Structure 1
């Protein structure tokens, strides 16, 4: 039973899931739009929203928390200087998921996730 277990398993163990979510979050921040499967996009949306909300605060503690999550100083600077000011008036919902249809090889539903 999966009582009180949030999120999707994505057919991997916990450390691989965390690495996958961090990697997808970094790519979304870097390119502002990526193509991935629907399950991964829905799962990465939560981490992305948390990181952007932290960066909107702009203080040193939130910068260190984001840096501990992303482990990339350049992306943290981009997040605090370019992306967070764009969402200053917005209370969540920083990403958009656009459905593309099934993937050729395994018919997984593909989407584009992008920053609004």
Structure 2
């Protein structure tokens, strides 16, 4: 059985929650900025980021995936793929910004503004090399070999289905060691070499097929 999302659910049920988030995402893409409760803004952010990643891909499959999430809202999908995606083409993740704006009068609910980050990316300037200090008299200058810089591995985000599951990286790719694609809507998983493996956009990655089956997923095609 799928593990429920931590925290309170938005709306009265899972279907209502998906519809509510779809409407919030459509409003965000249309107006570029919306004001809502802090809880809804935090739940909307990962969905909006994933949809913008699909918009940057721009292929037919990505459009169909986005329309499925947006409940066939063609106007919002058009803005996403034709206006927003070109503006964030050079940005590697971090497409949204949440700003707290105090509490709402009446129920005192914490409010926030979630907006799209559409400013052009400015390349980081390299620090100018400092001139080498002169060696002291009668002192030998010892040159140290530069330390090799190793890229830090991407942070592993729990996929919500146990320790052998992981969420997709910011660019939608798989974390290292996770090859099994899972689809939360259909509760099916796809193995490398499968009929629909290349055409499937993973919503969760599993380390092994056994881990996917243990989480309640069924192999596609069976």
Secondary structure of 1:5's match? coil
- Contact 2:38–2:112 (Cα < 8 Å) also in 1: yes
Unaligned runs of 5+ in 2: 118-222
What is the rounded CA distance, in whole Å, between the counterparts of 2:68 and 2:13 in structure 1?
Answer: 21
1:29-88 superposed Cα distances (whole Å, 9 cap, x missing partner): 010100000000000111101100001001111011111211111221111111001111
What is the rounded CA distance, in whole Å, between the counterparts of 1:100 and 1:46 in structure 2?
Answer: 20
What is the rounded CA distance, in whole Å, between the counterparts of 2:11 and 2:83 in structure 1?
Answer: 34
1:15 corresponds to? 15
- Contact 2:28–2:34 (Cα < 8 Å) also in 1: yes
What is the rounded CA distance, in whole Å, between the counterparts of 2:44 and 2:6 in structure 1?
Answer: 10
1:99 corresponds to? 100
1:115 corresponds to? 116
- Contact 1:56–1:85 (Cα < 8 Å) also in 2: yes
Root-mean-square deviation (Å): 1.5
Larger radius of gyration: 2
1:7 to 1:75, Cα distance in 2 relative to 1, 3 A? farther
1:30 corresponds to? 30
1:20 to 1:31, Cα distance in 2 relative to 1, 3 A? same
TM-score after normalising by structure 2: 0.49
Note the C-alpha offset of 1:7. Answer: 4.9
Deviating beyond 6 angstroms after TM superposition, the runs of 4 or more aligned structure 1 residues are: none
Q: How does 1:56-95 map to 2 (within 5 A)?
A: 56-70=56-70, 71-95=72-96
Higher helix share: 1
What is the rounded CA distance, in whole Å, between the counterparts of 2:55 and 2:97 in structure 1?
Answer: 19
Note the C-alpha offset of 1:11. Answer: 5.4
